[in-house]
Amino acid sequence: MAGVSPFRWLYLALALWGAVHPMAYLLRWFSQNGFDLPGLVAAWHVNAATSGLVWDLTIAALALTLWIAAEVAVRRNWEALLAIPATFLIGLSCGLPLYLFLRSRPIL
């Protein structure tokens, strides 16, 4: 892919890392505790620090979703919508760099 910005490759690498690395921790938790979604949510709120982090990531994910929706409405870059399910099904660490990767594609 000639002419592709090095930043675009970095965004893609961060999206892949953001999908794989956090998922390793989540899969380890599931292997130790079973597929216990209420237990997972309880673990997210085990103390004030983790609750703060959960809310921080939730608010950031919602802000990213609004940004994606607003930009897609103007730019008509429909593939950028893929970053929304990536954000909520995988995590913000995957969804945000994926969106930046999709947004930074060369305009024809």
Question: For residue 50, what pLDDT is reported?
Answer: 95
Distances (CA, A) of 11 to 21, 40, 98, 105: 15, 29, 6, 11
> How many other CB atoms are there within 10 angstroms of residue 97's CB atom?
22
What's the rounded Cα separation, in Å, for the pair 13 and 17? 6
Q: What is the DSSP letter of 54?
A: H
Each residue's pLDDT tens digit, 38-85: 999 999 999 999 999 999 999 999 999 999 999 999 999 999 999 999
Q: What is the DSSP letter of 106?
A: P
Instruction: Look up the pTM and report it.
Output: 0.88
Q: Which residues contact 2 (CB under 8 A, 6 or more apart)?
A: none
